[in-house]
Amino acid sequence: MLAIGARAPEFTLPDAQGNPVSLKSLLAHGPLVLYFYPADFTAGCTREACQIRDLYPQIEAAGMQVAGVSPQSPQSHRAFREKYHLPFILLSDADRCVVRMYGVRGPLGFGVRRATFLIDTAGQIVDAVAADLRIGVHARFVSRAASRGSASG
């Protein structure tokens, strides 16, 4: 997993509509909470996404953006966003290229670890957390980042 202080690798991935979205374009709107999750519609990932959804007004008030990354297709992401009313971007990393770049491959190189990064507008990782099974750790991380107004740097 990338370390705090590291430069966040640039990427471009399709969103739920199939439109290309780059890290640079996300950071143009403020600091970014970039979270990686294993799969749409699974119990843990749904809980995590809904917790972040519920924190979204606080995140937005802090001038921050949110993007979730997982290997599912844009169509799956679109259905997931619609079903759970997720107000943030979900990006499709079908070949797990960005997962590898951020060092969040699952055990033995399979799957995706549940990891969350806070990236400032200069593209530096300000904070990060990985907790595969403890979903609440990520919600607390996001809440803390938003409450401190985050890394607008």
DSSP structure class, residue 129:
E
Q: Which residue among the candidates 45, 86, 119, 128 is catalytic per the annotation?
A: 45
Q: What is the DSSP letter of 88?
A: S
Please choose, from the candidates 122, 120, 124, the residue with its C-alpha nearest in 3D space to the C-alpha of residue 145: 120
**Residue in the structure block whose two tokens are 């593209």:** 123
Query: Is 45 known to be catalytic?
Result: yes
Q: Which residue has the tokens 């969103």?
A: 15
Q: What's the CA gap between 124 and 140, in Å, rounded? A: 21
State the catalytic residues.
Answer: 45
